[in-house]
Amino acid sequence: MTSLSSQERTVIKTLLELNYSVRANACFIKRSPSTVSIEIHQVTPYKAEIAHALALKKRHLRGRHDTLTPAIAVFLNHHIGILKWSPVLIRFFQGIKNAKSITVDCGREFAKYNEIEQKLGIPVYFAHPYSPE
């Protein structure tokens, strides 16, 4: 789902003031009625400026935002000797000291699994594709 632009929000506001329905609004800006309905219910009464500011504020919540903390960097350097690991792996190694084995998916971030086995002395197992168990 793509985000609405400031101009689209202004059009929605204007059409609502003219008593256009959600469907008519959606048809006019060539968007899904559900997108317009969700947008309208975000801010009540609907104000385009406030809705746009809210959308921009919420934008940072989408996607991954993992951070390489100094403690994790030291751990990775000490045990693995490389800092070019994905955020998934970084998060994965946070509590590794007590682990007896590691089970991973078939993602490319685990391509160097043999280094993990050698450096940590822990066997790495791969889960079957599309299998949650």
Output the DSSP codes for 54-98. Answer: HHHHHHTTSS------HHHHHHHHHHT------HHHHHHGGGGGG
**What per-residue confidence (pLDDT) applies to 85?**
57
Choose among 121, 88, 85: nearest CA to 102. 121
pTM of the model: 0.46
CB-side neighbour CA atoms (13 Å) of 105: 11
For every one of its 133 residues, what pLDDT tens digit does the chain have, with 9 covering 90 and above? 458 999 999 999 999 999 999 999 999 999 999 999 999 998 889 999 999 998 888 876 666 555 556 776 677 666 665 545 566 665 666 566 677 777 777 776 677 778 777 777 778 888 877 766 5
As a whole number of angstroms, the distance between CA 96 and CA 113 comes to 14
**What per-residue confidence (pLDDT) applies to 25?**
94
Q: What is the 8-class DSSP label of residue 104?
A: E
